[in-house]
Structure 1
Amino acid sequence: MALSDLIYPENPRRRQELIHLHQELFGCMSMNFHATNELAEVLNAHLGCTITHIKMRESSTVKENCDIIIRAMREIQCQVQKIDGDMKEKLEPVLYQKLYDIKEPELEKIAIAHKVFSILLGEATSAAGMVAVKLLSSNLITITVCKLVSLLAQIGASVLGGISITVLGLGMEMILHAILGAVERNQLLAAVRSYEEHLAEFKEASEKYQCAIREVTSLVRHQVQ
């Protein structure tokens, strides 16, 4: 047993907590990469976008991987803003307002959006109108993505940002060494608290983000069936 463990008997438990928290962070990051790519594929296939597929860089830090997702999310935000601009340009003001009117029937909104994409793309897929309406009328872009981008930036700027994203493939001692290399070893409790503070909010925002994307992708799957 290390001398520090004799002096601070809580250290072994905190080390286990630290490893578990990093595993949870890795899991959230991995699922966010996957969800972002799923949304990008739908936008590319049905709305004529050209959003780049992203991949987690196993040799990079948490911050570097946060930056990759942030760039992809901002690209998606720009594409949705462009879609809104196209709708505004191609539609009469009354029809454009209908897209955002919660009292308007969903099928009518979809028909309006589909007509615009038929003009823009020459030939629109059957799911194009549904996807466009879902993106424009939901809070996926306006709230969910913005919230997650903000949290990713905070995590990247925190002490967690300098830690390698894939220390999970290492042995337990090497995991601890990799994590604690970013902080002083006598700051174990502070490191645990930093993880807990960021992870709780990040997990909640990630779940909302992934759920919102599933709503969009499920529309396409049901349409195909």
Structure 2
Amino acid sequence: MAQSDFLYPDNPRRRQEVNRLHQQLLDCLSDSFRATNKLSDILNMHLGCRLPLIEMKRDGTIKENCDSIIQAIMKIQKELQKVDDALKKKLEPTLYRKLQDLKERETEKIAIVQKVISVVLGEATSAASAVAVKLVGSNVTTGIINKLVAVLAQIGGSLLGSIGVAVLGLGLDMMFRAILGAVEKTQLEAAIRNYEKHLVEFKAASEKYHHAITEVTNSVKHQMK
């Protein structure tokens, strides 16, 4: 036990809490990597995209990994925008407005897209129409994905951004130097507050993101039956 722990007996508990919260953040990041790759796979398979898969950098910082996901999502959004632009160009204005109407039935939207999707993609299946409807004719790109990007950017730009994925960046020398016990206490408390604040938003945004991708996957499976 460090000498500072006698003066600040709660420091070991605070260190454990920081490590626990750090692991939760890594779990959320890892889940977002998997979900983004899953979405890329769907677009590559059904919309003819060539999106690269991404991998979590175990020797990188939180910011570097957040940026990696953000860049991948931006590429996805760019591909979806191309599909949206093509549909807008090929569809009659009234039909395109129906596609954007959140109150319109999904089956009706799929029927609308199927009329022109083969022209847009060259060759397309009903699954491609379902993917287009789920991702273009919905609030996934304008709401859910944009929210996740905003949260990732906040985390990367916060005090947590410089912390390494593999190890905490609080500094072992500072951790165990008795004379810096008070500084350690202050920094540990600040780290805990930062983790807790960002994790709440990250978890909420991630859950919606993962749910949206699951809906796309289920819709594709339904169309392929």
Counterpart for residue 179 of structure 1: 169
Aligned mates of 2:69, 2:155 — CA distance in 1: 12
Deviations along 1:87-121, one digit per CA (max 9) or x if unpaired, are 11111112211212345443232122122221122
1:110-140 alpha-carbon deviations (Å, 9 max, x no partner)? 1221222211222202201111111123221
> Structure 2: where are the runs of 5+ without partners?
176-183
Normalising to structure 2: TM-score of the pair?
A: 0.89
- Count of residues in correspondence between the two structures: 215
Distance across 2 between alignment mates of 1:182 and 1:146? 37
* Match of residue 52 from structure 2: 52
Corresponding letter in the other structure for 1:42: I
* 1:113 has 2:103 as partner: no
Q: Is the 8 A contact 2:83 2:120 kept in 1?
A: no
Equivalent residue number for residue 133 of structure 1: 133
Q: How does 1:135-174 map to 2 (within 5 A)?
A: 135-167=135-167
Return 5+ residue gaps in structure 1 as ranges.
Answer: 168-177
CA displacement 1:37-93 (0-9 Å, x = unmatched):
111111111112222211111111111010000001111112222211111111111
- Counterpart contact for 1:162–1:182, Cα < 8 Å: no
Percent of matched pairs sharing the same residue: 57
Q: State how far apart, in whole Å, the 2-side matches of 1:107 and 1:47 are.
A: 19
Name segments (4+ residues, structure 1) moved above 4 Å.
182-185
Using the size of structure 1 for normalisation, the TM-score is 0.89
Check whether the contact 2:59–2:165 (CA below 8 A) recurs between aligned residues: yes
| CA root-mean-square deviation | 1.8
In 2, distance between residues paired with 1:215 and 1:70? Answer: 21
